[in-house]
Chain A
């Protein structure tokens, strides 16, 4: 069965960077794109970006364009989200999410979430 297992919780100071990982199993990694979605406390879901796991092509939300990098390691079936210049408003649960194929649509599969807390 499809599983997305994310790295653990992080506490970072303002201005620092964080890197969250998402290890996929149960399907052919390069057949499905991966997305990152975050949710601040009590807030709506917010899409951050997408990576084509086959060739590394990325698409980002303009809101995060200057601060976010999504990469993948095909040998490890793992996708990474790096967010820099952290501020308190980046405190959120970060999810990876995917669906069969490379097209965007509804996300069938989600990781368990990684809590990132930004605090001085």
Chain B
């Protein structure tokens, strides 16, 4: 099973600032990585797939990079609606599909 590790667990950022979230895989997942945003009481929302392709309707301030075992989700200028928990997920080797432990982006 591929283990996904996200860091930091919590990121405190001021509105308008840039945020960089990290996701590491225990073995290579190529570019088969997705990112999700989840707000309290809601289902996850797909942000990114193929490591760097934005899903439909996702604002351009979200960007993804990386391949192999190291990935980054960058939010260029945080808006109030971006404060949430973010998860990465690998779909290269399955079953099982596996998720990271999440990074909570909170208001500084």
Residue numbers of A with Cβ under 8 A of B are 35, 44-47, 49-50, 59-63, 95, 97, 104-108, 110-113
Q: Judging by beta carbons under 8 Å apart, are B44 and A110 in contact?
A: yes
A107-B46, A110-B43, A111-B43 in contact; A46/B32 too (CB < 8 A)?
no
Partner of A105, one of B91, B99, B102: B91
Instruction: Summarize B's interface: helix, strand, loop or mixed.
Output: loop
Distance between Cα atoms of A50 and B36 in the complex (Å): 19
Give the chain B neighbours of A105 by CB distance below 8 A.
Answer: 32, 34, 49-50, 91
Contact with A along B72-108 (1 / 0, CB 8 A): 0000000000000001010100111111111000000
Q: Judging by beta carbons under 8 Å apart, are A45 and B94 in contact?
A: no
Nearest-neighbor residue (CB-CB) of A65 within chain B: B95
Distance between Cα atoms of A105 and B32 in the complex (Å): 7
Q: Judging by beta carbons under 8 Å apart, are B102 and A50 in contact?
A: no
Distance between Cα atoms of A95 and B35 in the complex (Å): 17
Q: Judging by beta carbons under 8 Å apart, are B95 and A45 in contact?
A: no
User: 7 more A-B contacts (CB under 8 A) besides A49-B95, A61-B96, A105-B50?
Assistant: A35-B97, A44-B87, A47-B94, A47-B98, A107-B34, A111-B43, A112-B43
Q: 8 nearest interchain CB pairs?
A: A106-B34, A106-B49, A110-B43, A61-B96, A47-B97, A45-B99, A106-B46, A104-B91
Give the chain A neighbours of B99 by CB distance below 8 A.
Answer: 44-47
Partner of B97, one of A63, A104, A113: A104
Distance between Cα atoms of A49 and B96 in the complex (Å): 8
